[in-house]
């Protein structure tokens, strides 16, 4: 599946999708920030789809596009909503792949159980032991699981929104395996760094979020063809927030080293992908 274009008018986008259906090339619509995105479902038709898209953009009012909409109107596999409350739900799921959704779900479930009487049990079993030498061989996962611990509504909502935005974008553009790899490395290294600095009582997705930030930031710079771009305003805001954390303005409980090491992990992964990975996104 590959995104071809984002159009401001959903009905115009639907006309293109209908015409492609007449050509036996499946495309689908999904909500996007600036309108609706058109996705090509089978990339073997990419060259043909890009040619037809260019022709469509030059003359979207051509009669053949109107005729195509009449032809396929009753046989569309998917009905796209042009508005209403379902649009928000559609946009949420369109932006998030299985890894993005799984991490959000696990974090939400853990937060729920922490607030109905299981906080002590979860802290004992999901945090890293005070000394790494105490980590039993059958509990290796505990170097990862602190990312699912959140301690307030603001904490989980803030981290969850950034995870959905950045993680969802990486998963859509580069696939689930890439997001999973970055997440695991960005959980282990920052978590161990934070443990050595402050002890085991910390948690949250923020270290991973900073890794995703660093990855999107450097990848947009090093490999713009990968489709990952962040505005300078977002990067600047997150870097300022990182510095503020070290100033203890927002409280000493902030996992500052996890943030810093997460950023390093993300930037390093982007560099590795540039020089040792595939030069084109999947």
Known catalytic residues are 206, 259
Distance of CA 189 to the CA centre of its chain: 20
Residues with Cβ within 8 Å of 274's Cβ and at least 6 positions away in sequence, in order, are 218, 219, 222, 223
Distances from the Cα of 87 to the Cαs of 20, 30, 35, 79, 136, in angstroms? 23, 9, 11, 12, 47
Distance between start and end Cα atoms, the chain? 9
Q: How far apart are CA 101 and CA 118, in angstroms?
A: 23
Burial of 170 (0-12, 13-18, 19+ CB in 10 A): buried
- How many of the other CB atoms lie within 10 Å of CB of 156? 22
């Amino acid at each position: 599946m590959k995104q071809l274009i984002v159009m401001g008018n959903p009905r115009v986008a639907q006309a293109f999708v209908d015409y492609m259906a007449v050509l036996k090339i499946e495309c689908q619509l999904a909500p996007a920030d600036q309108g609706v995105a058109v996705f090509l479902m089978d990339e073997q038709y990419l060259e043909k789809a890009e040619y037809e898209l260019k022709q469509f953009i030059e003359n979207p009012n051509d009669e053949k596009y109107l005729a195509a909409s009449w032809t396929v109107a009753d046989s569309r596999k998917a009905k796209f909503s042009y508005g209403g409350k379902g649009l928000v739900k559609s946009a949420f799921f369109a932006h998030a792949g299985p890894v993005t959704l799984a991490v959000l779900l696990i974090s939400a479930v853990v937060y729920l159980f922490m607030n109905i009487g299981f906080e002590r049990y979860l802290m004992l079993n999901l945090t890293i032991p005070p000394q790494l030498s105490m980590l039993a061989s059958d509990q290796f996962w505990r170097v990862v699981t602190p990312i699912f611990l959140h301690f307030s509504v603001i904490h989980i909502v803030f981290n969850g929104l950034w995870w959905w935005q950045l993680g969802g974008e990486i998963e859509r553009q580069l696939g689930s395996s890439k997001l999973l790899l970055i997440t695991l490395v960005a959980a282990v290294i920052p978590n161990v760094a934070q443990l050595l600095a402050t002890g085991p009582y910390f948690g949250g997705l923020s270290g991973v979020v900073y890794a995703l930030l660093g990855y999107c930031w450097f990848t947009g710079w090093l490999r713009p063809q990968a489709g990952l771009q962040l505005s300078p305003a977002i990067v600047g805001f997150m870097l300022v927030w990182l510095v503020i954390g070290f100033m203890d303005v927002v409280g000493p409980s902030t996992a500052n080293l996890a943030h810093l090491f997460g950023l390093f992990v993300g930037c390093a992964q982007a560099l590795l992908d540039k020089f040792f990975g595939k030069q084109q996104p999947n």
